[in-house]
Amino acid sequence: MENYESKVCTACRADAPKATQSQIEGFLNDYPDWELQDINDVPQLMKSYSFKNYLQAVDFTNRIAELAEKEGHHPAIVLEWGKVQVSWWTHKIRGLHENDFIMSAKTDQLFDSM
């Protein structure tokens, strides 16, 4: 199992290599709660987190935002009452990069620490 939680995102260029199918499958095997979604022909890692109320969901959203700023990699976040949906992908390459695996794992880590 790859320990993505301990890694740091690297700056991504438009010519950066996309994650291979094998890398994607390995990540999904190690992190089975994440789903691979194809949105407008762009593969994305997506997961929903549940909370007891709106304020907990907002707090989690803010923690993700702080992490995203620190790592320089930003997700799509949908905030609802008691629910936060997070999607990671790399805009510059219109696909998945190792940074998306790193941030997905770190998002789980944030949730587990609440």
CATH topology of domain 19-112: Gyrase A; domain 2 (3.30.1360)
pLDDT in tens, 47-80: 999 999 999 999 999 999 999 999 999 999 999 9
Nearest to 99 by CA among 48, 110, 91: 91
| pTM exceeding 0.75 | yes
Amino acid at 68: A
Domain residue ranges of the chain, discontinuous segments joined by + = 19-112
Which letter does DSSP use for residue 113 in this model? T
- Give dist(CA 69, CA 52) in Å, integer: 26
Contact 47, 86 (CB under 8 A): yes
